[in-house]
Amino acid sequence: MIGQVRFLGAPKPGEGRRWVIAGPFIWFLIFFLVPFVVVAKISLSTAAVSIPPYVPLISWDDTATMSIALHFGNYHFLLTDPEYVIAYLSSLRNAAVTSLVTLVIGYPVAYLIATAKPSMRGPLLMLVIMPFWTSFLIRVYAWIGILKPNGLINNFLIWLGAISHPLDILNNQFSVYVGMVYAYLPFMVLPLYSCLEKMDHSLLEAASDLGAKPLRAFVSITLPLSIPGIIAGSLLVFIPAVGEYIIPTLLGGADTLTIGTVLWNEFFANRDWPVASTVAVALIILLVGPLMLLQHFQSKEDQ
Amino acid sequence: MIASLTRGRLFLRLMMGFAMVFLYAPIISIIVYSFNESQLVTVWSRFSTKWYAALLQDEQILHAAKISLEVAVLSASGSLVVGTLSGYILSRFKRFRGRMLFSGMVMAPLVMPEIIMGISLLLLFVGMEQVFGWPQRDIQTIVIAHITFSTAFVAVVVQSRLAGIDVSLEEAAMDLGARPGEVFFLITLPLMVPALLSGWLLAFSLSLDDLVITAFVSGPGSTTLPMVVFSKVRLGLNPEINALATVIILAVGLVSGLGALKTAFKVFTPEKAGLQIKEEKCASPA
């Protein structure tokens, strides 16, 4: 009897669940999804000297007539102004080069850790991750002291006698690459490691028994099997790297144009919110493909 | 055969050594030069702690540090609540309408360029203020923004912990008549405590470190520490910032490093970071 009363009193399965889901769901609808709609809306406006500094899309006149003014000029501007085109192309190039170089450095590191003695794997992995726990801004800033004309590298090389004049390695494309590779390296190593670590090493033994040399076995077994890890790592590096702002600003030169710096300048220096929004919308469109690929990997696991 | 194997291992060790120098040289150089007496940051004169003394006198930095800590505590606590719920939903509720959308929204901030989240949240806040008169841009908008991006990290930690908790414990409690809420608070939550702790610390250090999103959503009276640091380092090297950096490296490194060491490397493995790779897909050709 008591059991039955409790049973009747209990909410139907799914009833309470709906409320649990509703909380975070609404939070993300409001603070993650809706903002994109707002950005898209403001990208169709024009800048104005007002607070906030753009012309409202919808206006009412005396006769209560609503008029909607959509301004597509920003998009046209974006596609025709060489500055923006260059910024987009160089951001894509920065992100692609960063992914490639982190892969070249990160793969051997991940491979070494994955094939180390099990007791060594944890500590080695920790060594790669530890720098990640210190401030991003400060780690990027540290490179100024290393790369500048009288910085550590140049002082060392001059002391060695290898060069007589300091190398020009700060505030140019090179220093941007160094900073990006440095900052994003852990994002490449970790997915590669977890993929290589799960690999069945008896496959390599089998290949070796059948007469394959280690390099051959690596190219035809290990490398193809680690492709999911390579894709995962490359996406985790590429997507945030396209919009990177801090590194090009601190380590880049006066001529370094990226989506991040262009958006920031339009927003803060020019106070042109509609153009900044347009730049953001274009960046989101650019990242839809990579993001979908990411979601694709994730939903596979969910099934 | 053996010779080439050793050559392979030698190459791997060289790359590892290179990576370690690459990762640690900048951090070590900052710490060393923070004790340099000279104003010229990269020219060593002699050992001194004067920049630490200067730091303690710097009102602007101290004030910004106070705001940053306040924001970090509030947003870490907020992300703990939202992130725990999100992680629980994603790992225990396998089917509901909008699940794809939900997991996408929770996990996307892990990779979404910060500059996009910054501008979109700011425009939302400005629009909301026009329509509802709320929120003013100050600490509260920073906290909302930080909760939104760091929830993903908490959810990932919680999800990976829940994957290790046997569902049969929860089912047993249900069979014995406990309501879903009771099961959650009496069984699931206590088992999640280590994950909650490291999730909170992770959110705390992410909040303390964020510059780009904060720069967009902060108001005139709420300048955080990274914003002050950024405005100073844009002008070049600064010995006082080296001292501050050393303090931050040690504080953040110790607190979050020690607290989250156990789960640290789990967080960014792909299956935990939202990029789930099926084991068999990676491990065997079948």
Q: Given an 8 Å threshold on Cβ–Cβ distance, is A232 in contact with B282? A: no
Percent of chain B whose pLDDT exceeds 90: 26
pLDDT digits (tens, 9 = 90+) for B152-169: 989 988 988 888 888 888
pLDDT over threshold 90, residue B217: yes
Mean pLDDT of B208-217: 92
Res B269: pLDDT? 47
- Which domains does chain B carry? 62-272 (1.10.3720.10)
DSSP state of B47: B
For residues A28, A33, A38 and A44, what is the CA-based torsion angle, rounded to 10 degrees? Answer: 170
Res A12: pLDDT? 52
Q: Given an 8 Å threshold on Cβ–Cβ distance, is A284 in contact with B119? A: no
Give the minimum alpha-carbon distance from A94 to chain B in angstroms, rounded to a whole number: 14
3-state secondary structure of A110: helix
Rounded Cα gap, residues B118 and A238, in angstroms:
19
Q: Which residues of chain A have pLDDT under 50?
A: 1-11, 302-303
Residue of B154, B275, B278 to mutate for A, most A C-beta atoms under 10 A:
B275
Residue of B137, B225, B268 to mutate for A, most A C-beta atoms under 10 A:
B268
Q: Given an 8 Å threshold on Cβ–Cβ distance, is B275 in contact with A236? A: yes
Rounded Cα gap, residues B266 and B253, in angstroms:
17
Give the residue among B168, B166, B167, B156 at the shortest CA–CA distance from B108.
Answer: B156
With contact defined as beta carbons under 8 Å apart, do A129 and B264 qualify? yes
Query: What are B250's two structure tokens?
Result: 């040690």
DSSP state of A63: T
Rounded Cα gap, residues A35 and B115, in angstroms:
13
Q: Given an 8 Å threshold on Cβ–Cβ distance, is B277 in contact with A194? A: yes
Nearest CA in chain A to B286: A225
Res B211: pLDDT? 93
Q: Given an 8 Å threshold on Cβ–Cβ distance, is A38 in contact with B261? A: no
Mean pLDDT of B207-227: 91
Answer yes or no: pTM beyond 0.90.
no
Q: Is A292 exposed, middle or buried, given 0-12, 13-18 or 19+ CB atoms closer than 10 A? A: exposed
Give the residue among A264, A247, A258 at the shortest CA–CA distance from A137.
Answer: A247
- The residue assigned the tokens 């600490």 is B139
Give the minimum alpha-carbon distance from A302 to chain B in angstroms, rounded to a whole number: 8
Q: Given an 8 Å threshold on Cβ–Cβ distance, is B119 in contact with A39? A: yes
Query: What are B241's two structure tokens?
Result: 């910032």
Query: What are B180's two structure tokens?
Result: 């879903």
Q: Does B216 touch chain A (CB under 8 A)?
A: yes
Nearest CA in chain B to A5: B177
Interface of B with A in 123-152 (CB under 8 A): 123-124, 126-127, 130, 144-145, 147-148, 151
pLDDT over threshold 90, residue B209: no
Give the minimum alpha-carbon distance from B91 to chain A in angstroms, rounded to a whole number: 9
Res B144: pLDDT? 95
Res A91: pLDDT? 94
Q: Given an 8 Å threshold on Cβ–Cβ distance, is A242 in contact with B179? A: no
Count interface pairs A-B at CB distance under 8 A. Answer: 311
From A160-174, A189-203, B85-99, B258-272, the region with the lowest mean pLDDT = B258-272
Q: Which helix (H) or strand (E) holds A60?
A: strand A58-60
Res B260: pLDDT? 54
Give me the residue from A21, A42, A228 closest to B277, CB to CB.
Answer: A228
Q: Given an 8 Å threshold on Cβ–Cβ distance, is A131 in contact with B226? A: no
Give me the residue from B130, B208, B283 closest to A200, CB to CB.
Answer: B283
Interface of B with A in 185-214 (CB under 8 A): 205, 208-209, 211-212
The string of DSSP codes covering B94-137 is: ---TTHHHHHHHHHGGGTS-HHHHHHHHHHHHHHHHHHH----S
pLDDT digits (tens, 9 = 90+) for B157-204: 898 888 888 888 888 888 888 888 888 888 888 888 888 888 888 898
Q: Which ipTM value was assigned to this complex?
A: 0.84
* Residue B267 confidence class, pLDDT cut points 50, 70, 90: very low
pLDDT over threshold 70, residue B286: no
User: Higher confidence at residue B43 or residue B118?
Assistant: B118
Chain B contact set for A230 (CB, 8 A): none
- Which domains does chain A carry? 81-271 (1.10.3720.10)
Give me the residue from A24, A105, A203 closest to B15, CB to CB.
Answer: A105
Chain A contact set for B106 (CB, 8 A): 24, 28
User: Higher confidence at residue A127 or residue B262?
Assistant: A127
